Amino acid sequence: MHQGLPSASHGIALGVRKMRRVYLDHNATTPVHPEVLEAMMPFFQDQFGNASSIHWAGREVKKHLDEAREKVAVPLNANPDEIIFTGCGTESDNMAIKGVALAFQEKGRHIITTRVEHHAVLHTCQFLEKMGWEVTYLSVDSEGLIDLEELRRSIKPQTVLITIMLANNETGTIFPVKEIGEIAWERGIIFHTDAVQGVGKLPIDLKKLPVNILSLSGHKINTPKGIGAQYIRKGTKLASLIHGGAQERNRRAGTENIPYIIGLGKACEIARRDAAKRQAHLLSLRDRLHRGISDRVPHVKLNGHATKRLPNTLNLSFLYIEGESLLLNLDLEGIAVSSGSACTSGALEPSHVLLAMGIPPEVAQSAIRFSLGLSNTEADVDYVVEVLPKIVQRLRYISPLYQKEVAALKRG
Ligand code: PLP
């Protein structure tokens, strides 16, 4: 559908065999959109000025910097002066959480988050715990959603920040940020949402959502890696973490990364222009993939919410086998996906997100995340649906867990 976007799915010559390549890991990162690259190119050479310089070279670049800020603000229905450019989503999350913690430390040192946040949030909260802050990690149900009553009950007089993601990167489960924000605001608490996976995939209207700070990342929406942004609602008190020049209205010092900022502006402009087409495309491929796999492979379980889920994300557990083995076998067939497991001290640890959802460790360990993107086609999905069942069958054949199950069934 998106002509010109470098196909994430193409054949390459591998020895004598021409292998098809299908990239289904867009929640990890995305290819750069050709229009984004084209928009960035002049800013590496011709328009190289420093946006803070008052001569012609600086003034020209400053004009484009302002335009890019507006292009990021418009699809979010924010004001351009509420947008700050950062280096990545992780930096945006750090700036929000530590920035609020520092700004309000005299008022209180309690933060509320969930157990299923990205490590950019969880590890930042853990750092603050070591520094004397108290953090409440809300539990989630089997579909990955929090209980709003538990959130209400967790609020203390010293709570200064609620940080809860817009959509989960592993399961795609979408959080009720409007309701969460209302609860935060009723009690005068700052609400930050990590929207790294939501921006470009879901409509977001910050005039209607009670959100103080929102984090986003460029490389999830077809910019190069190394650019992010933060929305900070007018009037929100936040301490700066990077001190130096007066860039980004004193919120983040450092000479602006103009080519990448221009790229992010373009990516947001494209996301807005193509929003409806993009949503429909992703949703139809995701559901085709889900149907195709469910029709051909028994003992498959969906992880995440059935409907309140990102249009591009499908997380499935293939019972009785290791997600990691499945991932490696799919890789040999040219298919790139991700498993929830993380390698910690040489051992595979099941995903903290799936475990928090109450999924048994062996089921969590059998999970694979498929995340679709703009350049994927029906042919990509059909290739996966053709290849995957044979691999699952082979892995189950050698799986002691599966053989035990079959033997038990035979015994009746
Ligand atoms: N938050 C979420 C939900 C993410 O999925 C990611 C990246 O995967 C991040 C934060 C970090 O973003 P970045 O890679 O731009 O640092």
Using one digit for the tens of pLDDT, what is the confidence trace for 159-218? 999 999 999 999 999 999 999 999 999 999 999 999 999 999 999 999 999 999 999 999
Of the candidates 108, 157, 152, 150, the residue with the CA atom closest to the CA atom of residue 128: 108
Contact 337, 24 (CB under 8 A): yes
Catalytic sites, residue numbers: 343
Answer yes or no: is the C-beta of 192 below 6 A from any ligand 1 atom.
Answer: no
3-class DSSP state of 160: strand
- Please give the distance, rounded to the nearest whole angstrom, from the Cα atom of residue 119 to the centre of ligand 1: 8
- Atom 13 in ligand 1: which residue has the minimum CA distance? 89
The model carries a pTM of: 0.95
Helices (H), 77-186: 89-103, 119-130, 148-154, 177-186
Question: For the segment 74-110, what is each residue's pLDDT rounded down to a tens digit?
Answer: 999 999 999 999 999 999 999 999 999 999 999 999 9
Alpha carbon distance 390, 399 (integer Å): 14
- Please give the distance, rounded to the nearest whole angstrom, from the Cα atom of residue 239 to the centre of ligand 1: 22
Question: For the segment 349-377, what is each residue's pLDDT rounded down to a tens digit?
Answer: 899 999 999 999 999 999 999 999 999 99
3-class DSSP state of 324: helix
Answer yes or no: is the C-beta of 194 below 6 A from any ligand 1 atom.
Answer: yes
- Please give the distance, rounded to the nearest whole angstrom, from the Cα atom of residue 217 to the centre of ligand 1: 7
Ligand 1 atom nearest residue 120's Cα: 10
